[in-house]
Amino acid sequence: MNSTECRNRAENVLMHTYGRYPVVLDHGDGVYLYDTDGKQYLDFSAGIGVFALGYNNTAYNDALKAQIDKLLHTSNYYYNEPALLAAEGLSKASGMDRVFFTNSGTEAVEGAIKLARKYYYKKTGVADSQIIAMDHSFHGRSMGALSVTGTKKYREPFEPLIGGAVFAEFNNLEDVKSKINDKTAAIIMETLQGEGGIHPATKEFIEGVAAICKEKDIVLILDEIQCGMGRSGNMFCYQKYGVQPDIVTCAKALGCGVPVGAFAATEKVAAAFEPGDHGTTYGGNPFVCAAVAKVFDLFEEQKVLDNVKENGEYLYEKLEEFAKENACVKEHRGFGFMQGLEFTMPVKDIAAKALENGLILISAGANTIRFLPPLVMQKAQIDEMIEILKKCI
């Protein structure tokens, strides 16, 4: 099927919820993607932060193929070895005690909200609780995750949402303090905001929030769906700050392509859940967990974090140079392999021009380009990206 026919037929049957580019991607290799016409694209989006190991990783592919021949799915009424290995890998990497596997990041946020509210209920005997979230945050598009997403344009068409969500200014500790009361069950935030424009938490802010949560026995939920799994140079971004949440949500690079997410919690908080409080049919099945277990193995074997630290610094240097050379760049933010350039104008045309020139970029808000390359990206490809980007300005 040629690309034009594929696009036309897709437009007739798929819901129009995405502003898709006129490209039909066919396969990938390393840090490059190829369309059905054979054109090559340098990928600086990694499927929105998913393909950490790059495309066509032989060891990863072989692990999935082997599991397909064994067992794809059972249910959570039974144990399976891949789920055990995946949970042990996530627990070790995150410093958490208990893990619940989901199908997506949004579902991980849903589970985290439920767990925090159940913890509050068991502690107080009262079901009427509130959760403090951050302005300009993004936690997903389901009704619960949307309720704590701090961007009105995402929420308003679908109201009324679940109640009890209160919003505070990100990186403003005093504003967070002013929102806390006896009903506060949890504070949820991204350690490094993604969709909101690549805004990292300041050290003072995240340390202050963590201290308040510990003092008042408020559940701290850190959403690391995008910024976790090595993207900061640490396995989880909060480790860069030296803090530990009560619950962490993750997905995207957790499975490097298969639909899997998770929320993990401390023993103290996780103990609030009892049989029947939460569940999933597909979450934690042998297939996706075989992928997760292999991802943790390959992160270690291929020294992925070392690569992010080294080449993340190099990316930062090159983007700093680019920002200084171009007056249309307002600010450069982020670290590791999650960085952003905020421009003085909308970036949609820049991303489209980049695509024409064989570079895949995505935005974070109207004016910011975010750089989320596979975590195996090297200096030569960073240089290649910069040269293409220069042509597009």
Tell whether pTM > 0.75: yes
Identify the pLDDT of residue 275.
Answer: 95
CA distances to 91, 107, 115, 236 from 209, rounded to whole Å, are 23, 24, 19, 17
Identify the pLDDT of residue 249.
Answer: 98
Distance in angstroms (rounded) separating the CA atoms of residues 187 and 210: 9
DSSP 8-state secondary structure symbol assigned to residue 30:
B
Identify the pLDDT of residue 19.
Answer: 87
Q: Is 182 helix (H, G, I), strand (E, B) or coil?
A: coil
CATH of the domain spanning 60-301, picked from 3.40.50.2000, 1.10.1740.110, 3.40.640.10, 3.30.450.20: 3.40.640.10
Model confidence at 58, pLDDT cuts 50, 70, 90, reads very high
Q: List the 40-43 sheet strands across, edge first.
A: 25-29, 32-35, 40-43, 359-360
Identify the pLDDT of residue 243.
Answer: 98
How crowded is residue 303: how many other Cβ atoms within 10 Å of its Cβ? 12
Query: Token match 């059905």: residue?
Result: 36
**Residue of 337, 293, 285 whose CA lies nearest to 311:** 337
Q: What is the mean pLDDT of residues 380-387?
A: 98
Identify the pLDDT of residue 296.
Answer: 98
Distance in angstroms (rounded) separating the CA atoms of residues 46 and 323: 23
Q: What whole-number percentage of the chain has pLDDT above 90?
A: 97
Average pLDDT, the chain: 97
Domain locations in the chain as residue ranges: 3-56+303-392, 60-301
Identify the pLDDT of residue 2.
Answer: 87
Distance in angstroms (rounded) separating the CA atoms of residues 190 and 81: 31
Identify the pLDDT of residue 271.
Answer: 98
List pLDDT tens digits, range 337-378: 999 999 999 999 999 999 999 999 999 989 999 999 999 999
List, in sequence order, every residue forming a beta bridge with 264; answer none if it has no partner: 99, 248
Identify the pLDDT of residue 67.
Answer: 98
Identify the pLDDT of residue 171.
Answer: 98
List pLDDT tens digits, range 309-343: 999 999 999 999 999 999 999 999 999 999 999 99
How crowded is residue 311: how many other Cβ atoms within 10 Å of its Cβ? 21
Q: What is the mean pLDDT of residues 40-61?
A: 97
List pLDDT tens digits, range 260-281: 999 999 999 999 999 999 999 9
List pLDDT tens digits, range 73-112: 999 999 999 999 999 999 999 999 999 999 999 999 999 9
Architecture of domain 3-56+303-392: Alpha-Beta Complex (3.90)
Contact of 347 with 367, CB cutoff 8 Å: yes
